[in-house]
């Protein structure tokens, strides 16, 4: 009962602090970490059941990484695997070298400099996954690449955490590394064999009951996370692979939607625990090193990623967005330095320095990532130095030289039916979407489409918006639609502009900005039903015809992999 009361107090405190943070329109993830600091040993010292709450936090990590894996098609992993591997390893090497040189220049001993350099190298997969999920960018190209190289980082840090204790003992570093590699390969082969031959049978049987399907999904994710931990890897790797094995299942959307509330609750406890574990001693004499290291992480790490991705042929925007995801240090960084303290390699002062850098960079990178779309236009002209000359991997082809009657921004869900109408009226159209998987499918179907983000001002400037007759945006973000309307109206006063909104007050802002029509899906349902009643009266046969037509449309959508969006308040 004491644990129950303890967790209750922590959750209530979180709600209060989150409410205050929300009043100032700040990211909630910051409130969770602040709560952890308040209830942790450095302040109120409410947390007594560290192991119990820590276990809940690890469940949140497993469920979060499981849902990430669930949303990644193995084909996409193959497409971004190379760039993720090169970028992940390249960033680790460059950051550790530069970090070591900075540390040495500031007067730290060699061993301490090595620890600080390695601690500065790793970024938080958990924090970035949460932020990308909140932004809805998990399916974007930069989102997939970022998750890929962050998981590469996790693998590297796991090996390092296993090697460090051996330095103080009589263990063979090479034997440990070879053991990890062998276990990892065996683990991969085993779970993918199970995933290919056994899981489809089990999930088909489990899907007969939604409750049992949810229970099976949770048990599968936690089982593989635990088994991975038992093998000496990490729960993140196991849970992520568990999700990937179900990524091609027809029940993946249902599993993901049902697990989301459960995942979000447990992941809140993770961030609270992270905040409670931040250790602060007398850091006044280390203010300069803390600020220098923080600046290096917030600015230097993104620059390193942009350089690597530019060399690989990606555009400056993709490199910039991906670079911001490494602008903080990981919870593994704190664990690594704490391990160094426990075996006598470094002092507690180093842990305080790294903890302070962690708090600064986590907070700073949160704002950078959430507001990246607004920051990029101001920096764009200065980032061209990171691009390689010639054709870019993620660059649109020659759409700027073509004239289109209609441009569709965002294909999924609403855009599906809109596109079918475009085909019937035989107008020249272009589809722009930021999901590389959707672009590949449309391209395979012979539909003119380009990869791109509607928030990219430079991209919009190249689209010949002055010559279009209609623009349709299925993107529900207010700022994105306001930008689209503004850019189109600059050169085209007569174009029909149709956009989507989920809020009435936002719809009015869009109309004021120059939208021709604003679609509100939540209100359209009632309007559609009333129109059918007005059209068909009480004629059962007509309604059955409407039903058959609707079922046919839904079946097409199922084959296309669509799911109904679940709107979450922000």
> C-alpha distances in angstroms, 338 versus 70, 154, 231, 287, 344?
33, 17, 22, 20, 10
3-state SS string for 369-389: HHCHHHHHHHHHHHCHHHCCC
- Does pTM top 0.85 for this prediction? no
Lowest mean pLDDT across 159-173, 189-203, 474-488: 159-173
Contact 519, 414 (CB under 8 A): yes
Give the pair of three-digit tokens for residue 126. Answer: 């958990």
Q: Per-residue pLDDT for 428 more than 50?
A: yes
> C-alpha distances in angstroms, 111 versus 177, 347, 487?
22, 11, 54
| Predicted pLDDT at 297 | 93
Contact 510, 503 (CB under 8 A): no
Mean pLDDT for 543-560 is 76
Contact 200, 251 (CB under 8 A): no
DSSP H helical ranges for 380-513: 414-425, 436-444, 457-461, 478-491, 504-513
| Predicted pLDDT at 138 | 76
According to CATH, the superfamily of the domain at 399-519 is: NAD(P)-binding Rossmann-like Domain (3.40.50.720)
% residues pLDDT > 70 (the chain): 86
- Alpha-carbon distance of 393 to 462, in angstroms, equals 17
- Alpha-carbon distance of 395 to 315, in angstroms, equals 7
Taking only the tens place, the pLDDT of each residue in 150-169 is 878 877 876 776 666 555 55
| Predicted pLDDT at 448 | 84
- Alpha-carbon distance of 112 to 335, in angstroms, equals 15
Taking only the tens place, the pLDDT of each residue in 333-367 is 877 887 787 778 888 788 888 888 888 898 888 88
Cβ neighbours of residue 345 closer than 8 Å, sequence gap 6 or more: 111, 115, 164, 167, 168
Q: Per-residue pLDDT for 41 more than 50?
A: yes
* Mean pLDDT estimate for the chain: 80
Most confident of 199-213, 215-229, 374-388, 446-460: 215-229
Delimit the domains of the chain by residue range. Answer: 2-386, 399-519
- Alpha-carbon distance of 280 to 334, in angstroms, equals 12
- Alpha-carbon distance of 411 to 416, in angstroms, equals 6
Q: Per-residue pLDDT for 417 more than 80?
A: no
| Predicted pLDDT at 242 | 87
- Alpha-carbon distance of 223 to 389, in angstroms, equals 48
Beta strand pairing call for 449-451 and 470-473: unpaired
- Alpha-carbon distance of 306 to 324, in angstroms, equals 9
Mean pLDDT for 372-396 is 78
| Predicted pLDDT at 102 | 93
Would you call 424 exposed, middle or buried from its count of C-beta atoms within 10 A (0-12, 13-18, 19+)? Answer: exposed
Taking only the tens place, the pLDDT of each residue in 101-112 is 999 999 899 989
List beta partners, residue 496: 470
Mean pLDDT for 25-39 is 79
| Predicted pLDDT at 105 | 92
- Alpha-carbon distance of 151 to 160, in angstroms, equals 14
| Predicted pLDDT at 570 | 34
Lowest mean pLDDT across 14-23, 237-246, 274-283, 355-364: 274-283
- For 2-386, CATH number? 1.20.1530.20
- Alpha-carbon distance of 493 to 209, in angstroms, equals 54
Contact 486, 513 (CB under 8 A): yes
Exposure b/e, 548-568, CB count within 10 A at least 16 = b: eeeeeeeeebeeeeeeeeeee
């Amino acid at each position: 009962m004491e644990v129950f009361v303890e967790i209750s107090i922590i959750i209530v405190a979180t709600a209060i602090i989150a409410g205050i943070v929300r009043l100032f329109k700040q990211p909630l993830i910051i409130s969770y970490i602040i709560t952890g600091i308040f209830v942790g040993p450095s302040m109120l010292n409410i947390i007594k059941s560290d192991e119990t709450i820590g276990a809940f936090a690890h469940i949140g990590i497993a469920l979060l990484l499981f849902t990430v894996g669930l949303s990644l098609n193995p084909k996409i992993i193959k497409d971004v695997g190379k760039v993720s591997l090169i970028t992940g390893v390249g960033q680790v090497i460059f950051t550790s070298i530069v970090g070591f040189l900075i540390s040495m220049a500031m007067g730290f001993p060699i061993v301490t400099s090595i620890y600080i350099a390695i601690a500065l190298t790793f970024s938080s997969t958990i924090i970035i996954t949460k932020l990308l999920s909140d932004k809805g960018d998990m399916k974007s190209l930069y989102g997939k690449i970022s998750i890929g190289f962050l998981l590469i980082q996790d693998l590297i840090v796991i090996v390092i955490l296993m090697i460090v204790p051996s330095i103080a003992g009589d263990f063979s570093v090479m034997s440990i590394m070879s053991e990890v590699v062998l276990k990892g390969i065996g683990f991969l082969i085993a779970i993918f064999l199970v995933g290919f031959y056994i899981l489809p049978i089990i999930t088909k049987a489990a899907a007969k009951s939604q409750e049992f399907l949810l229970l099976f999904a949770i048990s599968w994710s936690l089982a593989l996370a635990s088994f991975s931990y038992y093998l000496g890897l990490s729960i993140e790797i196991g849970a992520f692979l568990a999700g990937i094995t179900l990524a091609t299942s027809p029940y993946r959307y249902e599993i993901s939607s049902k697990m989301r509330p459960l995942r979000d609750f447990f992941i809140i406890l993770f961030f609270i625990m992270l905040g409670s574990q931040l250790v602060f001693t007398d850091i006044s004499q280390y203010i300069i090193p803390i600020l220098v290291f923080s600046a290096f992480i917030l600015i230097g790490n993104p620059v390193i990623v942009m350089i690597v991705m530019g060399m690989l042929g990606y555009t400056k925007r993709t490199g910039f967005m991906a670079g911001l995801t490494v602008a903080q240090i990981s919870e593994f960084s704190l664990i690594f330095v704490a391990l160094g303290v426990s075996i006598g390699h470094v002092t507690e002062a180093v842990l305080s320095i790294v903890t302070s850098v962690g708090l600064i960079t986590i907070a700073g990178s949160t704002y950078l990532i959430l507001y990246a779309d607004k920051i990029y236009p101001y920096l764009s002209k200065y980032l061209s130095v990171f691009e390689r000359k010639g054709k870019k991997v993620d660059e649109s082809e020659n759409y700027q030289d073509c004239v289109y009657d209609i441009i569709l921004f965002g294909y999924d869900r609403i855009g599906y039916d809109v596109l079918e109408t475009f085909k019937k009226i035989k107008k020249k159209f272009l589809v722009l979407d930021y999901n590389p998987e959707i672009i590949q499918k449309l391209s395979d179907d012979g539909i003119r489409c380009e990869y791109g983000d509607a928030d990219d001002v430079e991209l919009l400037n190249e689209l010949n918006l002055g010559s279009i007759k209609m623009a349709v945006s299925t993107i529900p973000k207010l700022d994105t639609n306001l930008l689209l309307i503004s850019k189109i109206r600059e050169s085209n006063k007569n174009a029909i502009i149709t956009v989507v909104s989920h809020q009435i007050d936002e719809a009015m802002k869009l109309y004021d900005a120059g939208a021709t029509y604003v679609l509100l899906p939540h209100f359209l349902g009632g309007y559609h039903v009333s129109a059918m009643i007005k059209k068909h009266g009480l004629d059962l046969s007509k309604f059955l015809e409407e039903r058959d037509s609707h079922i046919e449309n839904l079946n097409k959508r199922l084959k296309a992999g669509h799911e109904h969006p679940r709107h979450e308040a922000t």
